[in-house]
Amino acid sequence: MLFGSLILVLVASLLLLLAKPFAERPTLAAAIALGAAAIAMMLFASSFSQEATLLGMLSSGHLSSLGSALMVMIAALTILGMMANPYKYQSGLSEVYAFVLYTALGGVLMLSANNVLLFYVGLELSSYSTYILVSYYRQHKLSIEAGAKYFVLGALSSAILLYGISLLFAATGGIYYSDISTAIQNTSPVLLYGSMALLLVGFAFKLALAPFHAWTPDAYQGAPTLVAALLSVGPKVAVVIVLGKFMQLFSDDSFLLWQQALMVLAILSMTIGNFQALNQKNLKRLLGYSSIAQLGTLIIGLASGNMQGFAAVLVYAIAYSISNIGAFSSIAALRDSGLKANIEAYRGLGQRQPFAALALTIFLLSLAGMPLLAGFAAKLFVFKSAVDAGLILLAFIAIANTVLSYFYYFRVIIAIWLDQPEDRAEDMVLGLKLHPIALSALSVMAMVVVVLGLWPNALLGFVEKALGGF
């Protein structure tokens, strides 16, 4: 099933990329992309409990199915958002959908690879697709700048990661996860520690964890908004799960090192991300910094090192993905209606477009971790795993950071609901119209955030199954 869906997505994206007729028919192209994503998602969901391998290189199981379904869902949500205003992507409509699918495909490869090389191929596939997507507005200086920055640092981090992988190979002589984990017990620690350091830096770059985060805000601001949405969640979710897999490869006594490094990264990311987000005026930059902080919170689950922590990572990844894509999609939809992505422009949005305002508020509150929304259960789960692992100081810093993050999320919410529209000059239409597709996409996502918040058990049960019990 895994491979059927892989091929399906691959064929669909090739079709979109190569066949000219789709370029002129945005709806058809989108329908193909969405259809492929939907079928793939169903396949992943239905093959949830199947274990299979392909050519000894790919293997599917609970975890990879869950992660793959999430990746494809992220791609589908991005495409759905893009459908509302396809004419923004002048330089080839169907291509943009194809690259979104490729990003997801790369993520699926990363998740289902059972050796380090294929993981790297998957990583590069999704990275290259996003390099192209970020600089998609070819005419815009900012977009090009964002793409260039992202590409240089992305390529550098891939190189560092690959170097780490090669040291791992040198130390253990294996590329399969199973070989590595058996050989790793009696190898020279020098090579292993070198490999660990390089892997950590590489992963941190990919996840935009502080202090390796500098590329993020520029890339988000310059990229098309929905690409920024994809970038902030898509590859990162897959990378974080693989990071968890890598950690399990190493022996137990090196876990303390991982834990300390992850704790430092988490604390730095949360603190730096939140403090930088405080002063942002541009919403996309604000969400960029907030996503640094969110990823910092996410890896606390990995630092806990127990099964519950890993489950928390998955739950958090799902809740964060939907909320973050939702927030970016709201911004994109409002941008299509002529609203700039500045906090000042959002003043009095509650009066101008109450629906989008409510949806954006729900997404932001969920990101902030407000109870009864998806983000809360996820945050609670992460904090609890940290406390259970005895990392009370880390939990305390994380919770304090959560409050810090309320400042900027609420700054937007206050602007939306409490402030009056900036100026009621004649050129300003008070009411804003939303595209029906954007409207339905936003309402579905907002509903999911609320439902997951009210009944988090459904999600937890799913994740628990994927991990075979806590």
Interface residue list for other proteins (CB under 8 A): 365, 370-372, 376-377, 380-381, 383-384, 387-388, 392, 395-396, 399-400, 402-403, 406-407, 410, 414, 417-419, 456-457, 460-461, 464, 470
The residue among 76 and 357 lying less far from other proteins, judged by its C-beta, is 357
Among 440, 421, 446, residue whose Cα is nearest residue 432: 421
Least distance in Å: CB of 371 to other proteins?
4
Least distance in Å: CB of 245 to other proteins?
23
- Cα–Cα dist 340/160, whole Å: 38
Strand-strand pairing, 58-60 and 52-54: antiparallel
- Cα–Cα dist 8/21, whole Å: 20
Least distance in Å: CB of 439 to other proteins?
16
| Residue written as token pair 């790369």 | 106
- Cα–Cα dist 283/260, whole Å: 33
Least distance in Å: CB of 149 to other proteins?
35
Angle value at C-alpha 455, between 452 and 459, nearest 5 degrees:
60
Among 384, 371, 346, residue whose Cα is nearest residue 449: 371
The residue among 136 and 381 lying less far from other proteins, judged by its C-beta, is 381
Angle value at C-alpha 434, between 428 and 440, nearest 5 degrees:
160
Sorted by sequence, the CB contacts under 8 Å of residue 35 that are 6+ apart come out as 12
The residue among 190 and 407 lying less far from other proteins, judged by its C-beta, is 407
Max alpha carbon distance in the chain (Å)?
75
The residue among 461 and 468 lying less far from other proteins, judged by its C-beta, is 461
The residue among 159 and 372 lying less far from other proteins, judged by its C-beta, is 372
- Cα–Cα dist 296/394, whole Å: 11
Phi, then psi, of 58 in degrees rounded to 5: -115, 145
Least distance in Å: CB of 400 to other proteins?
5
Query: DSSP secondary-structure letter at 45?
Result: H
Beta bridge partners, 58, equal 54, 113
Q: Find the DSSP H helices in 26-115.
A: 26-46, 62-83, 93-112
Least distance in Å: CB of 319 to other proteins?
13
- Cα–Cα dist 52/359, whole Å: 40
Least distance in Å: CB of 304 to other proteins?
12
Q: Is 450 helix (H, G, I), strand (E, B) or coil?
A: helix
The residue among 83 and 365 lying less far from other proteins, judged by its C-beta, is 365
Among 116, 121, 113, 105, residue whose Cα is nearest residue 7: 105
The residue among 163 and 410 lying less far from other proteins, judged by its C-beta, is 410
The residue among 207 and 377 lying less far from other proteins, judged by its C-beta, is 377
Least distance in Å: CB of 161 to other proteins?
34
Query: DSSP secondary-structure letter at 421?
Result: P
Least distance in Å: CB of 279 to other proteins?
16
The residue among 232 and 259 lying less far from other proteins, judged by its C-beta, is 259
